[in-house]
């Protein structure tokens, strides 16, 4: 006997599907609300940061970036020196 042949079984199936759909929709809606609330809290905290704290944070970030810049510049200089040394070697090898 098929589920569709019995009206009670069909009603149970429809009710189960409806409850599942409502549960999923509620979960997604609640997650969206929580995310929106977290974004609002983050925005509020960003607004509450004092000017001195922002300046200190930016100076810290600047120091980190300057350190990285110096490292990259040194690596570029080393690479240029290696290239120049290879050129000189190549010229010296051709003379021999």
Residues 47, 53, 57, 59: is their CA dihedral positive or negative? positive
> Into how many domains does the chain fold?
1
Q: Is residue 41 part of a domain?
A: yes
- Read off the pTM: 0.43
Q: Is residue 34 part of a domain?
A: yes
**pLDDT value, residue 89:** 87
User: What residues make up the domain containing 14?
Assistant: 1-48
Where do we find the tokens 């040194």? 74
Q: Is residue 2 part of a domain?
A: yes
**pLDDT value, residue 49:** 80
Give 94's pLDDT tier (boundaries 50, 70, 90): low
């Amino acid at each position: 006997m098929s589920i569709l042949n019995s009206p009670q079984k069909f009603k149970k199936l429809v009710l189960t599907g409806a409850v599942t759909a409502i549960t999923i929709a509620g979960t997604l809606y609640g997650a969206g609300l929580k995310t929106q609330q977290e974004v609002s809290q983050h925005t509020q905290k960003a607004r509450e940061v004092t000017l001195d704290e922002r300046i200190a944070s930016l100076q810290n970030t600047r120091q980190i970036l300057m350190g990285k810049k110096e490292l990259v510049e040194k690596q570029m200089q080393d690479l240029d020196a290696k290239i120049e040394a290879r050129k000189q070697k190549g010229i010296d090898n051709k003379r021999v």
